[in-house]
Amino acid sequence: MHTYDRAAPLGVGQVKCAGNYAADIVPAKQAKDAGFPICLYLDAREHKYVEEFSTSNFAAITKSNVYLTPNSKSVLGSVTNMCLEVLAKDMGMSVERRPIDFEAEVANFKEVGAIGTGVVITVIDSITRGDKKYTFEQPSAVLQSMYNKLRAIQVGDEPDTHGWLREIPA
C-alpha cells in the first residue's frame, strides 16, 4: 500500500510499541482485501528505501549471494535477523546492512524473506508495487537452509557455536 507510511522520520519505529503496529491496521486490511498477505513499507521521507514488512524485518538474498537487510533508524531491531546475519557469514556469504533503494535493487533479489521471532523466516514469493510484480526464486534454497539451521540450533538438534542459548534453571 504505497499511500501509507509505517513510521515517521525521527519517530519511534525502532521501538516495540503499540503505536507502531496501529499505523498498519488500515493498509493491512486493504492489502488483505486485494489478495496480499503482508505490506512492505518504504521510508516515509522519500518513499524510496525498503524499511520493513507490516510485522517483520526485511531480508533479501541478492543474485550475487549477499544477505541484505535495511539499515534504518525507523526499523525495529531483530535478534532473529542478527542471528541470520551470523549464519549467513557462517555460510560464506557477505552481509550488508544498509539503505536499500527499492526501484534500483529489487530486480537483483534472488530470495526475499520476512524475518521475525515467531516465524523466523517467512519466504516471500513476490512483491507487487503498482502494476509491477517482482517474483523471487521458489523454492527458496538459501533462506530455507538458514531457517533449518537456526531452528535446529534453537531446539538443540545442532550445536550452538555462537553462545545464543541460555539454560534456564528449573
Whether 100 and 70 have beta carbons less than 8 Å apart is answered as yes
Radius of gyration of the chain (CA): 16
Q: First-to-last CA distance in the chain?
A: 47
- Given the residues 16, 63, 133, 149, the one annotated as active site: 16
Whether 76 and 14 have beta carbons less than 8 Å apart is answered as yes
Q: Is 16 a catalytic residue?
A: yes
Question: Among all residues, which ones are annotated catalytic?
Answer: 16
